[in-house]
């Protein structure tokens, strides 16, 4: 029973009960409609509407969005609630989001508990509110605040909701408030739909559009939401709602909404998952080796999750530096209001920073985040092996080194795995869990248990150079450098990829991380690089010139005074020079061609990764690219995007480019396989997996 109803005297109680968060599907809509008729038939004085469990209602059930809409439709149900002679009161104890918030708006009164959250996050699923949200919210709280909530999708807490006039009261006992509300007072309340819409304020509408374009660039839903709000300002409620509904239904079927739904469910599926075998270690104390930026971020993330941390350094100076690094994060978190004084003190108390490995003797897990050198890592692992219990799991945060080589130095290599965090490690959601050839199920289960505890999106990867994410990144950069050498500038490449949906292009991003890291990797790969593969020397020239990125004031761009990037003609000249030496006639690539090449390069690499079994599913590649590498979420991640292009088009694109360079653009066998099987990439990966 997704909607329960019962009478307490003349008060009707209606409760939505669709665990875990009362998503509103067909059964809930039908139940609510039935409850309206029931309350009227019984001539009740009021109906108090609640949500069972932790939520009021999390919105329309997004799992229904792929199918045709089924009656009764939510807007019709809500219009019935609003027009009923029996006034409804929404008692909002937890989240009232999307359709959940729209239900509350259709009620005559709204009361929130202190932990309530109200919002219209539909744009984050690529749609607009589809049950009156764009029409009732501006009528209730005014144009500017309504647009702010609808365009950004950000919910508001109880106090803010009260300030905005979104709820009538905030009460520790919201149900009691609804029961006690004076019947006459209730009668005087006007249904939100009967209120006049606010005046159309051109400046406010323009500001909302500017926000949509700046913060949600490339996405269609936020601008459509503004249009629906604007249209409703001059229309009766029913007409405004009809326009809103048509836009909602159209967007629901669109590519962006499908991509965002895919990410929503893929993320949730990943967060909850455990490794399919083994028993995780009990996590209480974790040793972290290395208190640099990465180690300190990892340590802070562990402390946040309530774990004790022993942070290991090599000497007294290292201990001081590590202490300062973690201390800084604690202070910043406190300043931002994320933790209070007590929280900061608890984190400091749970942290031991030392150069004495013996103090990590109780740790059941160690995460090494030391310098990227096999020698250094082997020394660290030997010390961990000596100090920690024999069954403790030993993890390395290496980005590129071979886990199997690290494990080879450990007596029992089955204890060793990779836990690849992304900087800043306490914020970035992605965690690559790297499975060496000897890694045990217990070690992997521990990695997944840790991921869950830290609230990460865990993705398992096999051993190869760069695992999943950095391997795709390397190919992306290689394609960018080739385009640069053969005809474009870094700023043209960056602009093309920003238009694609990245927050920044590959060159600006590399300026932030530093050109020296990729340079060191290239030197490491010199011995094994395919001699037939074209090598673009421009990045090496940059390093020779000391242009290492923002930290040196100049990289692909110049940063006068350490700020604001400026295009650097010297960098553009390097490509002219190298192209001249190599006898290349340069081509003027347009932004579409740049995007085509860079995206296809990534897709082909990802397909090789799937082919080799380094990644387990296409969705895992989507999670890695979105949560670790800034691939636009609204494109659904790299492989989801590849499927919107279609395997056939991907293969044709690769074959055409292979005419230019058969080595770099050799189509992955996985692409050919998907085409031959007539399956999407996702389905082909599932079949092959």
Q: Which residues are catalytic?
A: 102, 122
Establish if 115 lies at the interface with ligand 3HC (CB under 6 A): no
Which two three-digit tokens encode residue 79?
């219009």
Q: Is 32 an interacting residue with respect to ligand 3HC (CB under 6 A)?
A: no
For residues 554-613, which are near ligand 3HC according to CB under 6 A? none
Q: Does 57 engage in binding with ligand 3HC (CB under 6 A)?
A: no
Q: Which is nearer to ligand 3HC, 269 or 503 (CB)?
A: 269
| Least distance in angstroms from the C-beta of 57 to ligand 3HC | 9
Which of these segments, 15-23, 281-289, 306-314, 560-568, binds ligand 3HC (CB under 6 A)? 15-23
Which of 49, 62, 395, 543 touches ligand 3HC by CB under 6 A?
A: 62
Distance of alpha carbon 94 from alpha carbon 51, whole angstroms: 8
Contact status, residue 253 vs residue 336, Cβ threshold 8 Å: no
Is 99 a binding residue for ligand 3HC by CB under 6 A? The answer is yes
Report if residue 106 touches ligand 3HC, rule: CB under 6 A.
no
Query: Percent helix, strand and coil across the chain, each rounded to 5?
Result: 55, 15, 35
Nearer to ligand 3HC, 130 or 505 (CB): 130
For residue 211, give both structure tokens.
Answer: 């926000």
Binding mask 241-280 for ligand 3HC (x = CB under 6 A): ------------------------x--x---x--------
The bridge status of strand 393-396 relative to strand 365-368 is: parallel
Residue 273 or residue 308: which is nearer to ligand 3HC going by CB? Answer: 273
Sequence-ordered list of residues with C-beta below 8 angstroms from that of 477, at least 6 positions apart, any chain: 506, 510, 518
With CB under 6 A as the contact rule, which of the stretches 119-127, 159-167, 208-216, 453-461 interacts with ligand 3HC?
119-127
- β-partners of residue 3 are 16
Q: What 3-state class would DSSP assign to 227?
A: helix
Q: How far is the CB of 59 from ligand 3HC (least distance, A)?
A: 3
Residue 58 in contact with ligand 3HC, rule: CB under 6 A = yes
* 648-649-651 Cα angle (round to 5): 65
Using only C-alpha atoms, what is the Rg of the chain?
28
Collect all residues with Cβ–Cβ distance below 8 Å to 139 and sequence separation of at least 6.
Answer: 192, 193, 195, 196, 197, 198
Cα 426 versus chain centre, distance: 14
- Residue 230 found at the interface with ligand 3HC (CB under 6 A): no
Please give the Cα distance from 248 to 239 (Å, whole number).
14
Helix (H) or strand (E) holding 657: helix 647-658
Q: How many chain residues are in contact with ligand 3HC, going by CB under 6 A?
A: 27
Residue 531: how many other CB atoms lie within 10 Å = 6
Shortest gap between Cβ of 298 and ligand 3HC (angstroms)? 23
Q: Of residues 15, 102, 486, 620, which one binds ligand 3HC by CB under 6 A? A: 102
Per DSSP, 51 falls in state: E
Residue nearer to ligand 3HC on the CB measure, 268 or 523? 268
Among the listed residues 3, 49, 86, 125, the single contact to ligand 3HC using CB under 6 A: 125
| 68 contributes a contact to ligand 3HC by CB under 6 A | no
Report the DSSP pairing between strands 308-312 and 117-119.
unpaired
Tell me the two tokens of residue 284.
Answer: 């209480």
Q: Which of 16, 33, 49, 95 binds ligand 3HC (CB under 6 A)?
A: 95
Judge whether 232 and 140 are in contact, CB under 8 Å.
Answer: no
Q: In the complex, what is the shortest distance from the CB of residue 127 to ligand 3HC, in angstroms, rounded to a whole number? A: 6
Binding site for ligand 3HC (CB under 6 A): 20-21, 23, 55, 58-63, 74, 95, 97-99, 102, 121-122, 124-125, 129-131, 133, 265, 268, 272
């Amino acid at each position: 029973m997704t909607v329960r109803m019962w009478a307490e005297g003349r008060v009707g109680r209606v409760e939505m009960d669709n665990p875990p968060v009362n998503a509103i599907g067909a059964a809930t809509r039908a139940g609510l409609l039935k409850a309206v008729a029931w309350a009227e038939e019984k001539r009740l004085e009021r109906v108090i509407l609640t949500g069972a469990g932790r939520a009021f209602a999390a919105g329309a059930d997004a799992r229904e969005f792929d199918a045709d809409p089924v009656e009764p439709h939510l807007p019709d149900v809500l219009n019935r609630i609003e027009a009923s002679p029996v006034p409804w009161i929404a008692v909002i104890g937890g989240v009232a989001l999307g359709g959940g918030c729209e239900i509350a708006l259709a009620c005559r009164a709204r009361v929130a508990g202190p932990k309530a959250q109200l919002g219209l996050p539909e744009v984050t699923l690529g749609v607009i509110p589809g049950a009156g949200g764009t029409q009732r919210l501006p009528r209730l709280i005014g144009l500017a605040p309504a647009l702010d909530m609808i365009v950004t999708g950000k919910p508001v807490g109880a106090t803010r909701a009260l300030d905005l006039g979104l709820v009538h009261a905030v009460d520790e006992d919201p149900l009691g408030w609804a029961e006690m509300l004076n019947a006459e007072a209730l009668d005087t309340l006007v249904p939100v739909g009967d209120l006049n819409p606010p005046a159309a304020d051109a400046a406010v509408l323009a500001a909302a559009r500017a926000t949509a374009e700046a913060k949600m660039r490339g996405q269609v839903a936020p601008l459509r939401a503004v249009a629906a709000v604007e249209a409703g300002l001059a229309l009766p409620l029913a007409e405004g709602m009809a326009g809103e509904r048509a836009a909602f239904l159209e967007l629901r079927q669109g590519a962006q909404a499908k991509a965002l739904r895919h990410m929503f469910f893929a993320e949730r599926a990943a967060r909850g998952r455990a490794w399919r075998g083994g028993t995780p270690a009990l996590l209480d104390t974790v040793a972290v080796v290395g208190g640099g930026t990465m180690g300190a971020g990892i340590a802070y993330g562990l402390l946040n999750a309530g774990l004790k941390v022993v942070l290991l350094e090599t000497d007294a100076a290292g201990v001081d530096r590590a202490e300062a690094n973690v201390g800084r994060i604690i202070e910043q978190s406190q300043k931002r209001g994320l933790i209070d004084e007590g929280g900061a003190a608890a984190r400091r108390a749970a942290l031991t920073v030392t150069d004495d490995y013996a103090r990590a003797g109780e740790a059941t897990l160690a995460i090494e985040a030391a310098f990227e050198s096999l020698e250094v890592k082997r020394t660290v692992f030997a010390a961990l092996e000596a100090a920690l219990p024999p069954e403790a799991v030993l993890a390395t945060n290496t980005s590129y080194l071979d886990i199997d080589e690290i494990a080879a130095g450990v007596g029992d290599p089955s204890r060793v795995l990779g836990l690849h965090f992304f900087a800043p490690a306490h914020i970035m959601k992605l965690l690559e869990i790297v499975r060496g050839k000897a890694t045990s199920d217990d070690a992997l289960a521990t990695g997944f248990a840790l991921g869950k505890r830290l609230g990460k999106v865990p993705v398992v990867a096999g051993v190869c150079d760069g695992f999943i994410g950095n391997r795709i990144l390397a190919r992306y950069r290689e394609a960018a450098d080739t385009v640069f050498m053969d005809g474009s500038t870094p700023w043209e490449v960056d602009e093309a990829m920003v238009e694609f949906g990245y927050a920044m292009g590959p060159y600006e991003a590399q300026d932030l991380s530093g050109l020296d890291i990729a340079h060191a990797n290239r030197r490491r790969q010199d011995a094994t690089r395919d001699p037939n593969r074209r090598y673009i020397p421009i990045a090496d020239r940059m390093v020779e010139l000391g242009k290492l990125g923002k930290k040196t004031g100049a990289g692909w761009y110049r940063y006068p005074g350490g700020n604001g990037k400026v295009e650097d003609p010297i960098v553009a000249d390097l490509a002219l020079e190298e192209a001249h030496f190599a006898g290349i006639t340069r081509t003027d690539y347009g932004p579409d061609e740049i995007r085509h090449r860079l995206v296809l390069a990534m897709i082909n690499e990802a397909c090789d990764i799937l082919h080799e079994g380094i990644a387990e599913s296409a969705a895992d590649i989507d999670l890695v690219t979105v949560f670790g590498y800034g691939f636009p979420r609204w494109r659904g991640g790299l492989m989801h995007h590849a499927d919107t292009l279609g395997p056939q088009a991907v293969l044709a694109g690769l074959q055409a480019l292979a005419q230019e360079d058969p080595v770099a653009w050799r189509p992955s066998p996985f692409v050919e396989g998907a085409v031959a099987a007539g399956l999407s990439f996702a389905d082909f990966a599932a079949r092959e997996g």
